[in-house]
Structure 1
Amino acid sequence: MCSGSFAKCLGITLIPLAILCVLCNILLLFPGGLVAEDNGHITEEVWYFGGIIGSGVMMIFPALVFLGLKNNDCCGCCGNESCGKRFAMFTSIIFAAVGVLGAGYSFIVSAVAIHNGPKCFYTNGTAESIPSWTNPFVNGDYLNNHTLWEGCRSLWAS
C-alpha cells in the first residue's frame, strides 16, 4: 500500500513539527526571555494559543492516525475485505480535515498577531512622555511604520 507508506512518513514529520509549535507558543509567554511581571506585557493573541491548539493538539491527532494507517490492514467488516481499508482511508480523510482546521486556526491567529504587532515599553519620543507598556502598532503599522519601532525600548532598558 503505497499511500500507507506516505501517510506514515507524513505522520513522522508532523509530530516534531507539532511539538515545535507548542514550544514556540509557550516561549511567547516569556517576552524577551524573561518572566512577564504582568499579563499586560503579553499580547492578546498569545492567549488564543494558536501554536498549542491549532498547530499542536489538532495536528497530533492526524499524525497518530497517519502513523497507524500503514498497519491498518484489517480483515474487513461484514465479510468484505476491502471495507477495513476503506474505513481506514475514510478516517484518515476526517483527521486530515481536522489538521487543516487546526492549521487554518493557527494561520488566522498568526495573521492577526502580525497585523497588531507586539506590546513594548513605548515612549513617543518627547522628553515629557512617560514610557508605558502599550501596543503602538495596533493600527496595522507593525510592518510598515519603522519610526514606531524606534519608540520601543528593550525589556532590559526598562
Structure 2
Amino acid sequence: MCTGSCAKCLGGTLIPLSVFGLLANILLFFPGGKVIDNNDHLSDEVWYFGGILGSGVLMIFPALVFLGLKNNDCCGCCGNEGCGKRFAMFTSTIFAVIGVLGAGYSFIVSAVSINKGPKCFMSQNSTWGYPFQDGEMGRSKPP
C-alpha cells in the first residue's frame, strides 16, 4: 500500500473519531440528558472544550488533508516533478503535528478532570462541589 492510500485510510478513520469526540463533549453540557438551569452545576473542565477543540476541530484538519493526499498529483514546481509530492507530504506532516497537539490537549483536559472528579451536590453542606478532589471521601478515618 502506498503512502497516499494509507493516508486516505487514516483520514477516513479520523473523521468518525473526531465526530464522536465532538459529540461526547457536547453531551457533557446536558448531564442526565437534561438541560440544566444553572451553569455552576457543570464541572470546570467542560468549559475547556477538550472534545470540541482537541478531538473535534484540531482532528478534522489532518483528516481532511489525509483524505485529499491521494488525489494530489501535482506536476511539481520549477520543472521538478517530485516537488508536488514532497510538498504534499510536508503539509501532511505539519497537519499530523496539529492532530497530535489536539490529542494531547484533549488527553490533558481529561486527565485533569479525572483527577478532580465529578462536580456533585453535596448534601452535608447543601452546595455543589468536588467531593473526591481531596481524596477524603470514601476513606475510612482512623479512630
So what's the TM-score if we normalise by structure 1?
Answer: 0.83
Spell out, residue by residue over 1:82-101, the C-alpha distance to the aligned partner (whole angstroms, 9 max, x if none): 00000000000000000000
* Among candidates 97, 110, 129, match of residue 134 of structure 1: 129
**Structural mapping, 1:8-157, within 5 Å:** 8-123=8-123, 129-139=124-134, 141=135, 147=138
Q: Take 1:72 and 1:137, find their aligned partners in 2: how far apart are those partners? A: 52
Spell out, residue by residue over 1:95-140, the C-alpha distance to the aligned partner (whole angstroms, 9 max, x if none): 00000000000000000000001111112xxxxx34322111222x
Structure 1 runs of 4+ with >6 Å offset = none
Give the letter for the 1:93 counterpart.
Answer: T
The alignment yields a C-alpha RMSD, in angstroms, of 1.5
Secondary structure of 1:26 counterpart: helix
Give the letter for the 1:18 counterpart.
Answer: S
Where do 5+ consecutive residues of structure 2 fail to align?
none
Instruction: Using the TM superposition, give the Cα deviation of residue 12 of structure 1 relative to its aligned residue in structure 2, in angstroms.
Output: 0.4
Where do 5+ consecutive residues of structure 1 fail to align?
124-128, 149-158
Q: Take 2:138 and 2:132, find their aligned partners in 1: how far apart are those partners? A: 11
Secondary structure of 2:121 counterpart: strand
Instruction: Using the TM superposition, give the Cα deviation of residue 34 of structure 1 relative to its aligned residue in structure 2, in angstroms.
Output: 1.3
Secondary structure of 2:78 counterpart: coil
Instruction: Using the TM superposition, give the Cα deviation of residue 146 of structure 1 relative to its aligned residue in structure 2, in angstroms.
Output: 6.4
Q: Take 1:122 and 1:31, find their aligned partners in 2: how far apart are those partners? A: 17
Q: Take 1:146 and 1:66, find their aligned partners in 2: how far apart are those partners? A: 47
Higher relative contact order (CA 8 A, sep 6+): 2
Instruction: Using the TM superposition, give the Cα deviation of residue 62 of structure 1 relative to its aligned residue in structure 2, in angstroms.
Output: 0.2
Q: Take 1:22 and 1:36, find their aligned partners in 2: how far apart are those partners? A: 20
Secondary structure of 1:147 counterpart: coil
Q: Percent identity?
A: 70
Task: Tell me the residue number matched to 2:6.
Answer: 6
Secondary structure of 2:7 counterpart: helix
Instruction: Using the TM superposition, give the Cα deviation of residue 36 of structure 1 relative to its aligned residue in structure 2, in angstroms.
Output: 1.6
